[in-house]
Amino acid sequence: MICVHGLWHLGSVTAACLAEAGLETVGLADDQVAAGMLSKGQPPLFEPGLADLLAKGLASGRLAFDADPAIVCKADLLWVTFDTPVDDGDKADTGFVLDRVRALFPYLKDGAVVLLSSQLPVGSTATLERDFAVVAAGRQVFFAYSPENLRLGRAIEAFTKAERIVVGIRDERARRVIEPVLEHFCPRILWMGVESAEMVKHALNTYLATCIVLANELATISEKVGADFADVEGALRLDPRVGENAYVRAGSAFGGGTLARDVLFLEGLAASRQVTTPLIGSIRDSNANHRDWVLQRLKERLGSLSGKRIGLLGLSYKAGTDAIRRSIAVELGRAIAGEGAGVIAYDPKVHALPAEIAVSIAVAAEPGEVFADADAVLVGTEWPEFRTLPWPSLVEGMTRRLIVDQNGYLLHGVAKLGSSVEYVALGRVI
């Protein structure tokens, strides 16, 4: 039996996919309320297909949820899947995860495997191994690490059709338990040492973060010298040293905390070992500087934003989810409201906002409200349905026909409206 511990996004998707693969799975919740909601097939957040997959697993009898830690006694594999909390300064609360694993030490049976997939700094698995050794009482438990690879909005596909799965182990007995489980989802499993596996996630997210800030800096320079970064990007992709699938697209600053969390992990690891990392140390500063791009472009065109009406298309962290935690769109809306503007937003999945955000951003029931009497409309989240909006009729209701679309998501649609609309995108000459 597999026990999945930590049941927000990563854990609920993991449990549902394991059950779908025919594996007996129990999700261990922090409390009876959470266990009860999941037992009714109600996921903790919107993720396409997740509710149906939970319902199917529950109906089959292969999936169950419980809040009693004693169920861990039956588990051959304890899969730790907490979404590691991150504060507004990008600092992760790793103790939150480690303490919950330690609390289950008394229940682990001899020969069990603990597979960690929560985002944790290198050395976390070794810490838990040492802590368990103190209370082992003759039991052998094998710890392993496999970095999560989910993507909000495409999590089920990312889990069940992974390009590769990285697993760090110290003992072949752990592999014998883990391999038959993971083979259901991917034929390419990369086995390596624990610390190497922990480092993979740091390296990947820091690489992606570096690509994002580099592309955004290049695109901003392109704007100032009259170059179109779309042309520059196309040329870069055709260079074999860069490649067609390279991460060189310019757009908004990265948000959500995921990339920044790993950058901060590496900064801390390097500092604690007296390693100088000027490049890594500059990533978050560059990203923070880029967050003001939309606000600056609005002020260039509208002057003072006080008393202006600004429409915002999208609020969620990304398309395919209703999560708004650390959403760039929400942060943008609040920043504009802080300049004295009225902000009204529409999102297909976010129909209400917490009170502390609702004082700054009004939520519209349909897209037309966002455009009515607006001095500008901004694209905050790239929902596919925004591309098929009746743009000609919507922009007619605007006070000023200014569309700011930092990522150029609507370029081929809105730009066709011609000179009647002022369309602004990062690094674009339109």
Q: Check which CATH number belongs to the domain holding 210 and give it.
A: 1.10.1040.10
Say whether 66 sits in a helix, a strand or coil: strand
* pLDDT tens digits for range 354-378: 999 999 999 999 999 999 999 999 9
Q: What's the DSSP call for residue 207?
A: H
Average pLDDT over residues 261-265: 94
Domain end point (choices 259, 290, 321):
290
Residue 381 sits in the same domain as residue 312: yes
Any domain includes 430: no
Residue 271 sits in the same domain as residue 360: no
Residue 13 sits in the same domain as residue 86: yes
Average of per-residue pLDDT values in the chain: 95
What is the C-alpha to C-alpha distance for residues 188 and 407, in angstroms, rounded to an integer?
Answer: 33
What is the C-alpha to C-alpha distance for residues 222 and 232, in angstroms, rounded to an integer?
Answer: 9
Residue 170 sits in the same domain as residue 276: no
Any domain includes 429: no
Residue 312 sits in the same domain as residue 262: no
What is the C-alpha to C-alpha distance for residues 90 and 345, in angstroms, rounded to an integer?
Answer: 26
DSSP string covering 326-385, please? T-HHHHHHHHHHTTT-EEEEE-SS-----HHHHTTEEE-SSTHHHHTT-SEEEE-S--GG
Residue 50, phi then psi, degrees to nearest 5 = -70, -45
Residue 81 sits in the same domain as residue 57: yes
The dihedral region occupied by 165, where left means phi > 0, alpha psi between -120 and 50, and beta the remainder, is: beta
Residue 43 sits in the same domain as residue 11: yes
Domain end point (choices 232, 263, 290):
290
Domain end point (choices 244, 267, 290):
290
* pLDDT tens digits for range 380-391: 999 999 999 999
**For the chain, percent of residues with pLDDT exceeding 90:** 90
Q: What total of structural domains would you count in the chain?
A: 3
* pLDDT tens digits for range 23-81: 999 999 999 999 999 999 999 999 999 999 999 999 999 999 999 999 999 999 999 99
The confidence score (pLDDT) of residue 309 equals: 98
Residue 186 sits in the same domain as residue 329: no
What is the C-alpha to C-alpha distance for residues 343 and 363, in angstroms, rounded to an integer?
Answer: 9
Q: Check which CATH number belongs to the domain holding 116 and give it.
A: 3.40.50.720
- The span from the first CA to the last CA of the chain, in angstroms, equals 58
Average pLDDT over residues 145-169: 93
- Domain range enclosing 218: 201-290
The confidence score (pLDDT) of residue 414 equals: 80
The confidence score (pLDDT) of residue 251 equals: 92
What is the C-alpha to C-alpha distance for residues 395 and 404, in angstroms, rounded to an integer?
Answer: 13
The confidence score (pLDDT) of residue 429 equals: 66
Maximum mean pLDDT: which of 8-12, 151-155, 317-321: 8-12
Residue 242 sits in the same domain as residue 347: no
* pLDDT tens digits for range 185-240: 999 999 999 999 999 999 999 999 999 999 999 999 999 999 999 999 999 999 99
